């Protein structure tokens, strides 16, 4: 029998601050060439989809295999649309070490943490307003993690659902942040020092002309083929485009659409910045974009760390 | 919390006869176009490797994600070299349904069952002698499953380890089968009506000129890049070559080596035979070969069936 760890225990152990430290280390390992990341499995089924990610990080004692599902029709049955679990294996023996029944929590927090790590390398040191497109789980985790590395006083948000947007803004206020519900994406862009896009959109929401000097954009919504939040021209307009993994971003990230449109983008990898091999932002007027699709080494890093914290 | 089912409970529920029925149905589903099979994940790490397989079968209520590991240095620490588990998800909602801690048992028995299904379509109706190359887990499961669909009286076996070979023959005798330890692969081929190759060999063990009219060969050892048990010419010499999955066999099965050698092989898929869309053996003098790499739909089929049997 192996330990089976439930979501509540994982939530108690894995805080945003701890997650950021772990995910920063994972990106550093990647930038130093210490990760092995095979292509992900995408399995489409009649009512949903499964994604499987895994990776090895030299120096991390486990390998996680993460299985995530998305079944959007679940809403009508009162079930969660996204779910998942991680199986953890000993990296030295291959033997099963633990099952983490996180229902997607570890994915959510490591994605938020990756946004914070991107901001450390790409956002201005001093920011006031965070723009948020979307009102779902990542609209929350991105903001929660970002404020640890770049404190701010205000959120301006937009979402296709006005009801969800109002609820989101109420939550932000309860967290001590001034929150404004915007009526257009353009309005959010006009106010944002850092812009987070976190929707499952299949057409561009953000136009290149709305990006302003000094702005940093983190796009986390495009995590499978067909999804898109930024116009391809946003990536051309940016002075610096960072991706979490070139191969993935070219296959199903924001980068895909720019490349398909024939635009020549030369992204750097976030790991290269964290490892000090490439330079992130160098002045306050650059426009920067981070295209984050979620990489298996983040799952291995967060799952191994969570298991070690809970075990100790 | 989801049910966690241990190896002992799975062994009690999943008999060879039941496994054969389930795996035959899975191949029929595949031949009828009712499966979705994404590419497998292969993750090499410093001391071993992980393989991840999954598939959807229309009509089967679950999707299994199977994670198998191979760490050959484990022997020196008294640990098993192969391990694994299967995570089972509801195919309609994507929610986790169960964890099967089978330590590779379900893979072993479904691989044996696939050999039996191949023999049903490709071996002569009446056989006397089974040749076995190898003396490991599959040398056992292939014989155990084969005798259910093609009764026989004798096993002639060869293995690079004489000690393991003698132990294997003793076990066969205890099971009521006459067993002969051969000293060469050629000697096995000269006696075999059905030949099973089940080694992790990286160079061909069986030469084309050793194949005799009427013989059927099931090769199960080549399950990842670089492995090979049959000379590429065996596949040319055969009147009929069946594969469990074209894409996989061309990437890492016996078929790979024939194709790399420039030989033109037109394999049929085992599922096409089971579904009645292609013809298997048509007379007693044909030479037939089944190249089995192990497909995700077998894992989904056996895992879902095992869970249903144990639950009911």
* Residue B298 CB neighbours (<10 A): 32
Residue of chain A minimizing CA distance to B57: A45
Q: What residue has token string 């496994």?
A: B19
Of A312, A244, A297, nearest in space to A63 by CA: A297
ipTM greater than 0.85, yes or no? Answer: yes
**Beta-carbon separation of B67 and A50 below 8 A:** no
In angstroms, the CA A172 to CA A189 distance is 18
What is the tens place of the pLDDT at every residue in A255-294?
Answer: 988 888 888 899 999 999 999 999 999 999 999 999 999 9
pLDDT band of A101, cuts 50, 70, 90 = very high
**Beta-carbon separation of B79 and A93 below 8 A:** yes
List, as one string, the DSSP characters of B22-62.
Answer: HHHHHHHHHHTT-EE-PPPEEEEETTEEEEEEEEEETT-SE
Q: Is position A264 annotated as part of the catalytic site?
A: no
List, as one string, the DSSP characters of A62-117.
Answer: EEEEEEEEE-GGGGGGT--SEEEEEEEEETTT--EEEEEE-TTHHHHHHHHHHHHH
The pLDDT score that the predictor gives to residue B122 is 98
Segments of chain A assigned to CATH 3.40.50.720: 114-295
H/E stretch holding A155 reads strand A154-158
**Alpha-carbon distance B243 to nearest alpha carbon in chain A (angstroms):** 22
Using a CB–CB cutoff of 8 Å, tell me whether B77 touches chain A: yes
Query: What CATH number is given for A114-295 in this structure?
Result: 3.40.50.720
In angstroms, the CA A256 to CA A239 distance is 18
What is the tens place of the pLDDT at every residue in A61-95?
Answer: 999 999 999 998 898 999 998 899 999 999 999 99
Q: B4-106+297-311: what fold?
A: ornithine cyclodeaminase, domain 1 (3.30.1780)
B/e letters for A90-103, b = 16+ CB within 10 Å, e = fewer, are bbbbbbbbbbbbbb
Segments of chain B assigned to CATH 3.40.50.720: 112-295
Q: What residue has token string 């499961």?
A: B141
Q: What are phi and psi of A173, to 5 degrees?
A: -65, -40
A265: tokens are: 């983008």
β-pairing verdict for B4-6 and B35-36: unpaired
The pLDDT score that the predictor gives to residue B101 is 96
Segments of chain A assigned to CATH 3.30.1780.10: 4-106+297-311
**Beta-carbon separation of B95 and A69 below 8 A:** yes
Q: Output the pTM of the full model.
A: 0.94
Residue of chain A minimizing CA distance to B54: A43
Query: In 3-state terms, what secondary structure has residue A227?
Result: coil
Residues of chain B contacting A248 with CB distance shorter than 8 Å: none
What is the tens place of the pLDDT at every residue in A107-162?
Answer: 999 999 999 999 999 999 999 999 999 999 999 999 999 999 999 999 999 999 99
Selecting among A53, A66, A227, A264, the annotated active-site residue is A66
Using a CB–CB cutoff of 8 Å, tell me whether A43 touches chain B: yes
Q: B112-295: what fold?
A: Rossmann fold (3.40.50)
**Alpha-carbon distance B271 to nearest alpha carbon in chain A (angstroms):** 20
| Ramachandran area for residue A213 (φ above 0: left; ψ -120 to 50: alpha; else beta) | beta
Using a CB–CB cutoff of 8 Å, tell me whether B87 touches chain A: yes
């Amino acid at each position: 029998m192996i330990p089976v760890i439930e979501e509540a225990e994982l939530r108690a152990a894995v805080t945003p601050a701890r997650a950021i430290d772990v995910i920063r280390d994972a990106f550093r390992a990647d930038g130093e060439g210490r990760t092995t990341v095979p292509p992900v499995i995408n399995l489409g089924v009649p009512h949903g989809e499964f994604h499987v990610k895994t990776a090895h990080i030299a120096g991390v004692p486990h390998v996680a295999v993460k299985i995530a599902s998305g079944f959007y029709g679940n809403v009508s049955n009162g079930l969660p649309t996204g779910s998942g679990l991680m199986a953890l294996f000993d990296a030295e023996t291959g033997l099963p070490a633990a099952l983490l029944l996180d229902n997607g929590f570890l994915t959510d927090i490591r994605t938020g943490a990756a946004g914070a790590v991107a901001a450390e390398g790409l956002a201005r040191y001093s920011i006031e307003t965070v723009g948020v497109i979307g009102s779902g789980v990542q609209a929350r985790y991105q903001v929660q993690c970002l404020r640890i590395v770049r404190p701010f006083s205000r959120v301006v948000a937009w979402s296709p659902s006005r009801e969800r947007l109002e609820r989101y803004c109420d939550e932000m206020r309860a967290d001590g942040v001034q929150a404004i519900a915007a009526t257009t994406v353009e309005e959010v862009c006009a106010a944002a020092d850092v812009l987070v896009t976190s929707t499952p959109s299949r057409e561009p929401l953000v136009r290149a002309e709305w990006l302003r000097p000094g702005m940093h954009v983190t796009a986390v919504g495009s995590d499978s083929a067909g999804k898109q939040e930024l116009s391809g021209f946003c990536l051309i307009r940016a002075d610096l485009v960072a991706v979490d993994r070139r191969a993935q971003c070219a296959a199903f990230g924001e980068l895909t659409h720019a490349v398909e449109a024939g635009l020549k983008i030369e992204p750097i990898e976030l790991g290269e910045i964290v490892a000090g091999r490439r330079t992130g932002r160098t002045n306050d007027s650059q426009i920067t974009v981070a295209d984050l699709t979620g990489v298996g080494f983040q799952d291995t890093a967060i799952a191994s760390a969570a298991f070690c914290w809970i075990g100790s």
